[in-house]
């Protein structure tokens, strides 16, 4: 039974969009599969890991009968990648899917579509937001690196989004640092709404969203969120927990302001990082007499020293940081200069952008 004939890329592109969340090894074998549904010339692909579901729909596929099957997502993706750029046909015979392209032919086992678990779309809508894909993706990049990984405080293993009036805020923290970014919404929301997106959802959105001003529609409802952009619909469960009060973490009155050129500072920290302790990754920043000295050492008694000229007219300051936390923020900003506010060697530092209240990064010091 012929399902369809189409170009290789017309199959590979939607499959690539959904296959990223498929786990290589899962307790339920069917979750290693992708659900393929064909109706007329329209092809729908759907993948889920129970926590996240991605569906994409494309049209223009030639001929064949309407059908719904599931087949190994990674295997089908690898096959399509390996085929030459030619027309590909899918044929179903006795629960086996035959993929033909050029002179190559592959037979894959299928599982019934009726057994494939699907996430129901959320009911009881709380908020609906619209924002450009590029703006949302850039906002994710400004904060997502500060998310925790496998922290026992499960609510930190994700990213807080807040829709409040005509503004969308994002906050991420792992307990050692906190990143905050805000963006205007295309239309204000009726009531303030908060949701914690799981880490896997955040990474998948960062991978999928385009560098375009096309609209991203976000629906928050109950314990789920739906993201619709282009031909993709992503449904995710939300993390049920109380996120820390980020406003209490952001220092309000640090008196020492230093403006750094971002790229020279980034380069100096990258050099110093070479000789940091592999476990603690600590660097000392010593500010005095219009000079920043960056010093790192390791267990082998090796040392790195770097100096930058800066405008600094306060009492000398010697403060240590995890260099990874500093490199993360500098790598994910695009401005030429960054503002750092310090209090003393035992207090957190606040990093902001000149003339911009929409980004804040707080990093705790470490003893070195």
pLDDT (tens digit per residue) in 24-62:
777 788 999 999 999 888 899 999 999 999 999 988 766
Architecture in CATH for domain 251-363: Roll (3.10)
The interaxial angle of helices 8-19 and 73-82, nearest 10 deg, is 140
8-state DSSP, 243: -
Predicted local distance difference test score (pLDDT) of residue 48: 96
> What backbone phi and psi angles, to 5 degrees, belong to 192?
-60, 130
Token couple for 114? 């009726």
The Cα–Cα gap between 181 and 160 comes to: 11
pTM summary value: 0.92
* Coarse DSSP helix, strand, coil percentages of the chain, rounded to the nearest 5 percent: 20, 45, 35
- Residue ranges per structural domain of the chain: 2-115, 125-248, 251-363
Cα(80)–Cα(87) distance, integer angstroms: 11
Alpha helices in the chain (DSSP H): 8-19, 73-82, 133-143, 199-208, 246-249, 262-273, 323-331
- Give pLDDT, residue 61: 66
pLDDT tens over the chain, length 368 residues: 888 888 999 999 999 999 999 987 777 889 999 999 998 888 999 999 999 999 999 887 667 778 899 999 999 999 999 999 989 999 999 889 999 999 999 999 999 999 999 998 877 777 899 999 999 999 999 999 999 999 999 999 999 999 999 999 999 999 999 999 999 998 999 889 999 999 999 999 999 999 999 999 999 988 999 999 999 999 999 999 999 999 999 999 899 999 999 999 999 999 999 999 988 999 999 999 999 999 999 999 999 999 999 999 999 999 999 999 999 999 999 999 999 999 999 999 999 999 999 999 999 999 98
Q: Which CATH superfamily is domain 2-115 in?
A: DNA Polymerase III, subunit A, domain 2 (3.10.150.10)
What CATH code would you report for 125-248? Answer: 3.10.150.10
267 Cβ contact list (under 8 Å, min separation 6):
none
Tell me whether residue 110 is exposed, middle or buried, using C-beta atoms within 10 angstroms of its C-beta: 0 to 12, 13 to 18, 19 or more: middle
Task: Check if 125-248 and 251-363 are the same fold.
Answer: yes
Return the bridge partners of 317, or none. 287
**245 contacts 160 by C-beta, under 8 angstroms:** no
């Amino acid at each position: 039974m012929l399902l369809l004939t189409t170009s290789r890329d017309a199959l590979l592109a939607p499959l690539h969009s959904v296959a990223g969340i498929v786990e290589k090894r899962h307790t339920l074998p069917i979750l290693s599969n992708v659900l393929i549904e064909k109706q007329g010339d329209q092809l729908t692909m759907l993948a889920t890991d129970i926590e996240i579901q991605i569906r994409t729909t494309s049209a223009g596929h030639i001929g064949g009968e309407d059908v719904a099957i599931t087949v190994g997502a990674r295997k089908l993706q690898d096959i399509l990648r390996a085929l030459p750029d030619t027309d590909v046909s899918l044929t179903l015979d006795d629960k086996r899917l035959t993929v033909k392209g050029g002179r190559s032919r592959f037979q894959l086992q299928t599982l019934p579509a009726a057994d494939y678990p699907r996430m129901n779309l959320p009911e009881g809508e709380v908020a609906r937001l619209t924002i450009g894909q590029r703006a949302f993706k850039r906002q994710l990049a400004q904060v997502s690196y500060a998310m925790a990984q496998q922290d026992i405080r499960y609510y930190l293993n994700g990213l807080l989004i807040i829709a409040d009036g005509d503004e969308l805020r994002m906050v991420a923290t792992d307990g050692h640092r906190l990143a905050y970014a805000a963006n205007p919404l295309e239309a204000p929301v009726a009531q303030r709404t908060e949701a914690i997106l799981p880490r896997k959802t955040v990474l998948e959105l960062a991978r999928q969203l385009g560098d375009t001003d096309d609209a991203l529609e976000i629906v928050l409802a109950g314990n789920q969120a739906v993201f619709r952009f282009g031909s993709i619909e992503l449904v995710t469960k939300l993390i049920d927990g109380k996120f820390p009060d980020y406003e209490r973490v952001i220092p309000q009155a640090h008196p020492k302001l230093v403006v750094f050129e971002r790229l020279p500072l980034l380069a100096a920290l990258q050099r110093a990082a070479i000789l940091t302790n592999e476990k603690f990754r600590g660097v000392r920043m010593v500010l005095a007499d219009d000079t920043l000295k960056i010093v790192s050492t390791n267990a082998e008694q090796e040392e790195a020293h770097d100096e930058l000229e800066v405008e600094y007219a306060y009492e000398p300051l010697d403060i240590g940081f995890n260099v990874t936390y500093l490199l993360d923020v500098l790598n994910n900003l695009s401005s030429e200069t960054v503002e750092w506010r310090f209090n003393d060697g035992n207090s957190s530092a606040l990093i902001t952008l000149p003339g911009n209240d929409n980004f804040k990064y707080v990093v705790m010091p470490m003893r070195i």
